[in-house]
Structure 1
């Protein structure tokens, strides 16, 4: 059986177009179908919904008219870009010049991810747990092989898996935009953070603790672990920036001393 078969359920005859559109809408709201995801063909959807192709076509046209789907000629039907950019390029450049915005970003992530971890501990399904465990193994392997790129990618996906397990649709859509900024290294480079940590051992241990809290169904522990992880990130950056500032002053004093 194709794995997509389990996503779509046969529907009764009345209000077929409404029901087809409604199922697809629900999957978008719940984050099952994300922006950019390609839908099966009309024929495949017709078979999976067990309705006629004209009804499927009408439903897809309705969703396209609502801005939820986008048809690319010769390519297929895709979920449209629904969430706007968290920040415009101009605002990102502005924030890059004013470092305090970075701490606003961490503050926002700390509160949202603490909430997500709490909810995940209460709501995670077996599939959610499997995804979290898989990403913990991915983090472990990337750490063992000293692969910073793989580690950075797994880091973002790990936090995303916790948010997904919260089953809060609004949170999932909002954090997708935030994690895209993280993935692009807009505010910080994880390689730099790992260099501050020294070995990355503490970061790995913190991810393990978040996962363990969620998997144990302990909302208090999961929330505390997520909050302390972001506290550690913030404190590490503050210390790293201060260390670089002091080193800069020391180099300048050395130069002036040599010129004296």
Structure 2
């Protein structure tokens, strides 16, 4: 649930309009993201410094604009606004045609290099603290061989870099792209980690991306992001080729049996 601290008390002639404007701005800026649950009506009204009837009016306006979804008995949520980059049918098609993965990587290489450059230029103190926390989690999960925690930190790192770019279009577009990654359509992390040393290299690359931003070095950041995606592409190609060789070897063995 979103913390009440992110909201500011309202001091505007039109209370309802001011509440709507604040929440809309937070959605545009990526503070309130798809699916985020807002605080309870009582807590949110208190945080904004408005009456509950006025808050209800504002939430109704936002709901009419399809920006929030009210689930009676559960709460109010930010609507799914960015949507998914592809329909379920298209995702299934891509999954059956693995070569599309490399188009996906090509796109990510350019966008993540751009995001990391901007993040190195624009990251605030809070952004840097967030990245430092993720850095510690990446190292801890590696040391403890916690695959789930490592994967979660991986996803959160890339989202944090996009957020630190402070480019709202980039933040929302990359959220849709990372949705594909989270669902495993274009990213076989197990394949990468099965290759000798790949897991350690992925960790080092993630740490380098973070360190370049903490050092406020845009050129280093862009280079680190490109090197990371280049490594993923090369490793996946090698892994797929090893799989094909093994498949052919098994077929030959069966043919002479």
TM range (shorter): over 0.9
1:199 offset after TM fit, Å?
A: 5.0
Aligned counterparts, 1:15-26, within 5 A: 15-26=14-25
| Structure-1 residue corresponding to 2:92 | 93
8 Å Cα contact 1:197-1:203 kept in structure 2? no
1:87 offset after TM fit, Å?
A: 1.3
| Structure-2 residue corresponding to 1:69 | 68
The alignment partner of 2:178 has SS state of helix
| Structure-2 residue corresponding to 1:114 | 113
Aligned counterparts, 1:124-143, within 5 A: 124-143=123-142
| Structure-1 residue corresponding to 2:44 | 45
Once the two structures are superposed, what CA deviation does each residue of 1:141-164 show, in whole Å capped at 9, x if it has no partner?
111122222211211111111111
In 2 relative to 1, CA 241–55 (structure 1 residues): closer, same or farther, beyond 3 Å? same
TM-score, with structure 2 as normaliser: 0.94
Once the two structures are superposed, what CA deviation does each residue of 1:123-175 show, in whole Å capped at 9, x if it has no partner?
11111111111111111111112222221121111111111111111111111
1:188 offset after TM fit, Å?
A: 2.7
The alignment partner of 1:188 has SS state of coil
For the pair 1:144 / 2:146, whether they are aligned, the reply is: no
The alignment partner of 1:106 has SS state of helix
How many pairs does the alignment contain? 256
For the pair 1:235 / 2:220, whether they are aligned, the reply is: no
| Structure-1 residue corresponding to 2:54 | 55
C-alpha distance in 2, partners of 1:62/1:200?
48
8 Å Cα contact 2:38-2:75 kept in structure 1? yes
| Structure-2 residue corresponding to 1:31 | 30
Once the two structures are superposed, what CA deviation does each residue of 1:14-35 show, in whole Å capped at 9, x if it has no partner?
1221111100111111111112
TM-score, with structure 1 as normaliser: 0.93
8 Å Cα contact 1:148-1:191 kept in structure 2? no
Unaligned segments of structure 1, at least 5 residues: none
| Structure-2 residue corresponding to 1:171 | 170
C-alpha distance in 2, partners of 1:41/1:152?
31
Unaligned segments of structure 2, at least 5 residues: none
C-alpha distance in 1, partners of 2:12/2:219?
47
C-alpha distance in 2, partners of 1:50/1:153?
36
C-alpha distance in 2, partners of 1:199/1:13?
55
8 Å Cα contact 1:38-1:77 kept in structure 2? yes
The alignment partner of 1:77 has SS state of strand
1:244 offset after TM fit, Å?
A: 1.7
C-alpha distance in 2, partners of 1:40/1:205?
38
